[in-house]
Amino acid sequence: MTQAHLGDWYLARGDGIRVARCRLLDECGGFGHGFSCRDGGGVDKPAAVLAAAGLSGRQLRILHQVHGARVVCSGADGGIPEADGFLVRRNPAGPVAGIGTADCVPVLLADPVSGHGAAVHSGWKGTAAGIAPLAVALLAGRGVRPAELKAALGPAIGGCCYQVGSEVVRAIGGVGVENRGGEYRLDLREAIRMQLEAAGVPAERISIAPWCTCCENGLFFSWRRDGDAAGRMLSVLGAEA
Ligand SMILES: [Zn+2]
C-alpha cells in the first residue's frame, strides 16, 4: 500500500485552479513547486499552474517524455529535449521545469542547502531504469549531499489500481509489487521511495502524496482509467522570483 503522509500535503488555489503541494518542499526556501490537478486541463493551463505554484510569469521548460532514463539540465538551450528528467537550479533568472503525467509519478527533489534540485517523470519503465536515483547521482556530481535532499512523490496511480503483468514485475525486479492471489499490483511510488532511500535520501525526507490518480476521478487525470482521452497533469519546480 502507498504510505500516505496526509499531513505533508494540501491543495492550494490560485488563478482559478488547484495544485497539490508538499510541506517538505515548502520548507526548501526559495523553491516554488506544485503538482496540478485536472482543473483547467492541467498541462493545457501552464500559466495558471505556475501562478498556483507561486511561480507566476516564469519561463516554463518541458520535455518530450519517452519513458527513458535521460536527465537534462533545465537551463540548457535548445527546444524540447527528449528526456524524462530535468536538473534545476534555484536561480530566479532560470527556467521552471515542468513534468507531464497521468498515472506515472512526478518526482520533485530539492536541496535547500545548495539550491540544486530535479524534476523527474518515472513510470514503470523509468522506475525500472532507475531514473530517480540517477537524478540523485547527477545532483551528487554537482556537490549535493543526498542526505540533504527532500523528495516529493506527487499524485500517481496507487497499488490499489495498478495491476501489471509478469513482464513489468520482472523489469522492476519485484520492488513495490504485491501478489494478490496471482494478480500483481505495483505501487510505483513505494518502489521509487525505496530507490531514493537506497540512494541516500533519508526516509523522513521523502513524502508520498495521499492520492491515487485512478481512484480520484474528480481531481486527477488517469491514463489507466480514461485511456487516450486522458489529459495530463503538470508538475513544476523552480526558483521563486
Ligand atoms: Zn487507486
C-alpha cell at position 39: 482543473
Domain 6-239: give its CATH architecture.
4-Layer Sandwich (3.60)
What is the residue whose three cell numbers read 510505483?
A: 188
Q: How far does residue 2's CA lie from ligand 1's centre (Å)?
A: 10
CA 222 to centroid of ligand 1, rounded, Å: 10
Task: Measure 182 CA to ligand 1 centroid, in angstroms.
Answer: 19
Cβ(118)–Cβ(138) under 8 Å? yes
Residue 165, pLDDT score: 97
**80 CA to middle of ligand 1, Å?**
32
**214 CA to centre of ligand 1 in angstroms:** 5
Q: Write down the pLDDT at residue 14.
A: 85
The SS3 of residue 125 is: helix
Q: Hey, where are the domains in the chain?
A: 6-239
Residue by residue, pLDDT tens for the chain (241 residues) are 344 446 899 999 888 899 999 999 999 989 999 999 999 888 999 999 999 999 998 999 999 999 999 999 988 777 899 999 999 999 988 999 999 999 999 999 999 999 999 999 999 999 999 999 999 999 999 999 999 999 999 999 999 999 999 999 999 999 999 999 999 999 999 999 999 999 999 999 999 999 999 999 999 999 999 999 999 999 999 999 7
Of 41, 49, 131, 52, residue with least CA distance to 86: 131
Total length of the chain = 241
Distance CA 111, CA 150 (A): 6
Q: What is the pLDDT of residue 162?
A: 97
Q: Calculate how far, in angstroms, residue 128's C-alpha sits from the geometric centre of ligand 1.
A: 21
